[in-house]
Structure 1
Amino acid sequence: MSHSWFRNIFLIILLYSFIGAGFCCIAEVNIQEKASSEDLTLAPPEIQDTNQSWPLANKDYSNTRDQQETDISSESVGKFNLSWTYPITGHSAFGSAATTPIITNNTVYFQDLAGNIIALNQQTGTPLWTNNYNSSTILGPNGPAIGYGKVFISPDVYSLSALDMKDGTERWSVHLSPSNSTGINIQPIVFDKKVYVATVPGTSANDFYAGGQFGELYALDEETGAIIWNTSTIDTPDLWGNKSVNSGGGAWYSPGIDTRTGITYWGIGNPAPIPGTPDYPAGLSRPGPNLYTDSIMAVDGKSGEIVWYNQVKPHDLFDLDFQISPILASIPDSTDESKTRDVVFGAGKLGKVYSFDRKDGSIIWNTSVGIHNGNADLSTIPEGETIQVLPGFFGGVETPMAYTDGILFVPVVNFASNYSSTGMDTGSFDLSSGTGELVALDASNGTELWKKEYPSMNLGGATIASDIVFTATYDGTIYAYKIKTGDLVLKYKAPSGINGWPAIGKKSIIWPAGAASNPVLFSLSLPIS
C-alpha cells in the first residue's frame, strides 16, 4: 500500500497525527541556573498583565497547563452550568477544532481547523470580531498566540499572519513554506519580541512526508514578520543519503521557554518513509539514527543555535513522534532534598514519558504509559510478514500533558496498527477498539500514583484547576479528578466529540468540541456571586 494512500485513509477518519535513550549531544553553550518561577520581564505586556488568565497555549511558558488563579475546584465544580455555546462553522478533514483557546482581558480568541479566527466575550460568548480564511489545508493542532497588540495565527499551512487584537485586521503575513513543500501545524508562542513557530514536512495528506522535505524551527520578528533565525530539525541536508525518498522532523506543538535563560525546548516528529517502500523496505533508505527526529531539542532563543538534543527513538519505523509540548519544572534533587533540579518532561506517540536534566539533556527517568506489546522497539520487519505495533499510529501520548505540585498528568491512547516492511494495513483500523487512560506520575521518579481507564480514546489533553485535573475523550465525555487521590468529582457529556483541549479562567472552563457533528466552542461556568 502506498504511503500517500495511507495518509488519505488518515484524513478520512478525521484524526490528526501527532519517544529509549538514544543519542545525546551537548553543544558548547553555557546555560545559567533557573529559579522555580517564571520571569516575565521579556514577555509581551498582554501576558505580563493577564498571566492569571490563560494567555498562552499551555497557560504559561513552562507548558504546565496549571491554573491556580481560579475559583474552580473540587468543591465548586459541581456548580458548573453550560453558560454559552458558539457554533464552529469552519472545518477540515480532521474535524473542526484541535487547539486550545486563549483567554485575556475578558476576551476569548479561538481558531478553527479552517484557519478562521474569532474573538468572543468570555462571559457571554458574543462575537467581537471575526476574520475568516476558509482554508482547506490545515491539519492541526493550530491556534492563536497573542502579544504586542497582535494575534498571531497561521491562516493556512504556508503562512504566519499578525492580526490587530482590537478588530482582527491583518497587519502582516509571511510565507514560510519553501516551494510550498512544508506546512505550519502548530500553535505559535510569543516571547522577547519574537514569534516562535515551526513547520513539518508536507502540506496535505497526499504529500505528507514525501521525499526531500524536512521541518524547521523559526523565530520571527513580532513587529514585521521578518525571519530572525530558522533551524533545521534534520542533521544533514542530504536527508541521510536519499533525498528523493527520505524526509522527517518538524514540530507539532508549542515549545517550552525558560524565561530566565531564553532557551526554547521543542518536541520533534518522526522520520519517513514509514516504515519503508518496496525499493527500500523497513527504513533501508535512511540508515542510522536519523537525527534529530523523535528527539527533544534545546535551542537558544536568540540565535537558533542547538544547545543540546536527546533522541529517544533512533531510526523510528512506526511514526512514533516525540511531539508533545515539553514541560519545564523544578523538582527536589534526589541527592540533596534541600535543593531543586531543573528538568524538562517530554512524551509522544511511543507511549513513554521522559524526565531530562534541563542543563544537558541527560535522562533522569523514563516511564511507559498505556498498553505495549513490545513491537514498537523493533529495528526491522521481516519481509512478507505483518506485525501488530502497540502503541500504534494513533497511540501513545497524543495530546498535552499537565504538571503541578510534583505530579505529572499524562493523557494516553491505546490503539494498535498492523505494519509490513513497506506500509501499514489501514484496512485493519477499528476506531471503536481505541481506548484511553489518564495516568498520574510522581515527577521525581516517574512512578505511577494513580490511573483512570476509558472506553474511548483520550484526545482531550490534561488541564489543572486548583486541586483537580480535567481530561476528555473522543466520544465527548469530560472527566475531572482530585489531583492527589484520583477521586472523580465531575463527569460531563459535551455537545460533540472532543479532540481539543481547554483554557481555564477565573470562573469558567472553555472547551472546543469539534471532533464530530454539530461542533461548538462552549463554556462551563460557575455562578457569578
Structure 2
Amino acid sequence: MQLRLRTVMVCVALTSFVLACSSESTSSTPAAAAQQPVVVTPGTVPVPVATARPVPATAMNQNECVPSPSPEEIPPEVARNSSLWPLPNRDYASARANFDSNISSDTIDRLEEVWTFDLPEKTNWGAAVSNPLVIDGVVYFQDLPSNIFALDFDTGKAIWNHRGEGPSVAPNGLAVGYCKIFAAVSASEFEALDIDTGLTLWTAEIELTDHEGINIQPIVYDGLVYLSTAPRSEKGLYLGDGVGIIYALDQETGDIVWSFNTVDSDDIWGNREVNSGGGAWFPASIDTERGLTYWGVGNPGPWPGTEEFPNGSSRPGPNLYTDSVIALDHKTGELVWFNQVRPHDNFDLDFHVTPILTTERINGQDRDIAIGAGKTGTVHAFDADTGEELWVTAVGIHQNDDLTEVPIGESVVVYPGALGGVETFMAYAEGVVYVPVMNLPTTFTASSKKTESLDGTGILVAIEADTGDILWETEFDDLVVGSATVVNDLVITSVFGGTVYALNRANGEIVWSYQASAGLNAPLAVAGDTIIVPAG
C-alpha cells in the first residue's frame, strides 16, 4: 500500500501537512468528510463581513446542516467527527491524543506541506494562538484579530470568511456544534454563526467593565456554550477593577444561563480600583457522566504590587479562586469543589492549563482524576469528585518562587517567571502525561516586574499519571509554546522559533522536525493523515 503524507500550516497563515494512505486514491479527506456539505464558492482575503440576513434558498448549500428540534448532549458535529479534531483539545477529557491517525514513527518522515492559507492580519501578539477544528471536511480557525475562516480540508481554499470586530483579550478560538460556529468577535461580543455560510445568527453582548474582556476558546456541550472573561492588561499588568467570570450561554439564543465569578469578593478583596484577577484562559474539560466542568483559573492582580501597595498588600488573604482548579456543575454553574494551588500569588503564576480527565490506579484503588498545571511550574493530580490532591510534581527550573514577598528595595530573579512554567496544553495517553515547560525568568521587586527577554529554553516532560514520577525529559534551546499532542507512538510539540518536533513518546527521542516560515505560538490539530499547524 502506497503512503503519502501531507501537512497544513498557517504562517501568519495556516499550513496543512497530510499523510494519505490509499492504494486507489491520493485524496486525504478524512472518513467523516463523507458527510461534508457541498462547498460554497471560495472567498478570498481581505475578509468580507458576514451579516445576519436571510439567505435565498437557491444560495443555500444543498446539504446544509439542519438543527435537531431536541439537541443532543454531545453536538452531532462532535460525535460524528470524534476521530478527527472537533474540540479544542480533541475530546471532552482534553487528552489531546489521536490514535485514529495514519501518522506514526514509521510514516512521519513522509510528511509534506500541502497548502498554506495566509492570514490577512495580526496583533502585537501575532496572528494565531487558537486550536484549529476539523469537522466534516472543513478546517475552522480564528485568528487573533478575531476573523473566522472555514477552509476546505483538502485544498485550504476559503469556503467562507467572517470579519471580527477586534481582538479579544486573548487567547481566542472557535467551538462548533448544533449547526453553529461559536466565537468572540471582540472583547465584549460573542456570536453564533451559521456553519454553512458564516452569517451571524445571534450576538450576545457580555456586560463588562472597561477593564475586562472575553479571552477564551469556547467549548459547547448539552445545549450550552462555555466561555470566560479576564482582566485586561496594560504594559504587562492587569488593570484594576477587572475580574474573570465564567459564563454558560444558551446555544440557541445566546442568553446567559448561568455565570460564576472566579473572584469571591464583591469589592475585589477590598480595593476594587486597584485589584483584579481570575478568569479562565483555556476551555474547560467536561466529565459527561458526572455533569461537571473543570477549569484552571488565572492569577490575582496587581502583581507583585504597586508603590502604594507592595507585595499584593492591596488584596489581603488567599484571593480565592485565583490559581485554582475548580469544578462546576455544567447545568447550574454551582461550585462543587476547588483546590487553590498558590494562595495570594504575587508572581503572576496562573494555574490556568485545562485539566486532563482520566482514571488511574492509585494506591491500589481506581481513581478518577483531574490533572492540572500552570505557570507555577507544577503538575497536580486531584480527585475528580472531591478535589483532594493526590500528587504534585515540579517541572522545569525553580528559583525563588517559594517567596511570599520581595524585600522592599531589593529585586529577585524568579523561575518560573510570568511567561514561564507550563503555559500551554498538556497531552495524555496510556497512563502518561506529556507536559510542555518553559524556563524563562522574571525579575521582581515588591512593586514591579520585568521579563528581560524571550531568550529562554524549554523541555517536554513525560510523567506517570498514577504516581507523578518523571519518566523522561527532553530539552530544547527554545521556548516550548506549542502544547503537547499525542499521535500513536509520537508526541508532537513546537517551539517559539518555528520548529515542530515529533518525539518517540516512550523515551523522548526526537525523530522528526519541521521548520516553519514563522514563529509558533499555537497548538496544532491532527486529523487522519494531516497535521494542521497555525503559525505567525
- Report SS of the residue matched to 2:307: coil
Aligned to 1:297: 326
- Structural mapping, 1:112-511, within 5 Å: 112-133=143-164, 135=166, 137-202=167-232, 204-205=233-234, 209-336=238-365, 340-373=366-399, 375-426=400-451, 429-432=452-455, 434-511=456-533
- Report SS of the residue matched to 1:200: strand
Deviation for aligned residue 1:206: 5.8
Q: Tell me, yes or no, if the aligned pair for 1:92 and 1:139 is still in contact at 8 Å.
A: no
Give the letter aligned to residue 264 of structure 1: T
Aligned to 1:63: 94
Q: Tell me, yes or no, if the aligned pair for 2:415 and 2:439 is still in contact at 8 Å.
A: yes
Question: 2-side partners of 1:242 and 1:138: how far apart?
Answer: 26
Aligned to 2:137: 106
| TM-superposition CA deviations, 1:222-262 (whole Å, max 9, x none) | 00000000010011112112212111111100000001121
Question: 2-side partners of 1:341 and 1:372: how far apart?
Answer: 30
Aligned to 2:34: none
Q: Tell me, yes or no, if the aligned pair for 1:90 and 1:134 is still in contact at 8 Å.
A: no
What RMSD over aligned residues (CA atoms) do the two structures have, in Å? 1.5
Structure (1 or 2) with the larger CA radius of gyration = 2
TM-score for the superposition, normalised by structure 1? 0.86
TM-score for the superposition, normalised by structure 2? 0.85
Deviation for aligned residue 1:460: 0.5
Question: 2-side partners of 1:156 and 1:376: how far apart?
Answer: 35
- Matched pairs, number: 467
Q: Tell me, yes or no, if the aligned pair for 1:211 and 1:244 is still in contact at 8 Å.
A: yes
- Report SS of the residue matched to 2:78: helix
Question: 2-side partners of 1:175 and 1:71: how far apart?
Answer: 43
Give the letter aligned to residue 451 of structure 1: E
Q: Tell me, yes or no, if the aligned pair for 2:172 and 2:216 is still in contact at 8 Å.
A: yes
Q: Tell me, yes or no, if the aligned pair for 2:138 and 2:152 is still in contact at 8 Å.
A: yes
Deviation for aligned residue 1:205: 2.8
Question: 2-side partners of 1:168 and 1:399: how far apart?
Answer: 29
Give the letter aligned to residue 162 of structure 1: A
Question: 1-side partners of 2:94 and 2:173: how far apart?
Answer: 15
Question: 2-side partners of 1:154 and 1:101: how far apart?
Answer: 15
Question: 2-side partners of 1:81 and 1:260: how far apart?
Answer: 40
| TM-superposition CA deviations, 1:390-426 (whole Å, max 9, x none) | 1101100011000010010000100111110011135
| TM-superposition CA deviations, 1:364-412 (whole Å, max 9, x none) | 1000111111x11211111100011111011000110000100100001
Question: 1-side partners of 2:263 and 2:206: how far apart?
Answer: 17
Question: 2-side partners of 1:114 and 1:240: how far apart?
Answer: 33
Deviation for aligned residue 1:207: 9.3
Deviation for aligned residue 1:180: 3.6
Question: 2-side partners of 1:467 and 1:392: how far apart?
Answer: 32
- Report SS of the residue matched to 2:243: coil
Give the letter aligned to residue 342 of structure 1: D
Q: Tell me, yes or no, if the aligned pair for 1:177 and 1:183 is still in contact at 8 Å.
A: no
Aligned to 2:16: none
Deviation for aligned residue 1:140: 2.2
- Report SS of the residue matched to 1:215: strand
Runs of 4+ with >4 A deviation: none
Q: Tell me, yes or no, if the aligned pair for 1:354 and 1:366 is still in contact at 8 Å.
A: yes
- Report SS of the residue matched to 2:393: strand
Question: 1-side partners of 2:507 and 2:282: how far apart?
Answer: 29
Give the letter aligned to residue 490 of structure 1: W
Could you tell me which runs of 5 or more consecutive residues in structure 2 were left unpaired when the two chains were aligned.
1-11, 13-70
- Report SS of the residue matched to 2:123: coil
- Report SS of the residue matched to 1:325: strand
Could you tell me which runs of 5 or more consecutive residues in structure 1 were left unpaired when the two chains were aligned.
1-13, 15-39, 515-529
Question: 1-side partners of 2:144 and 2:244: how far apart?
Answer: 20
Aligned to 2:24: none
- Report SS of the residue matched to 1:376: coil
1:206/1:488 CA distance change after superposition, 3 Å: closer
Question: 2-side partners of 1:147 and 1:471: how far apart?
Answer: 27
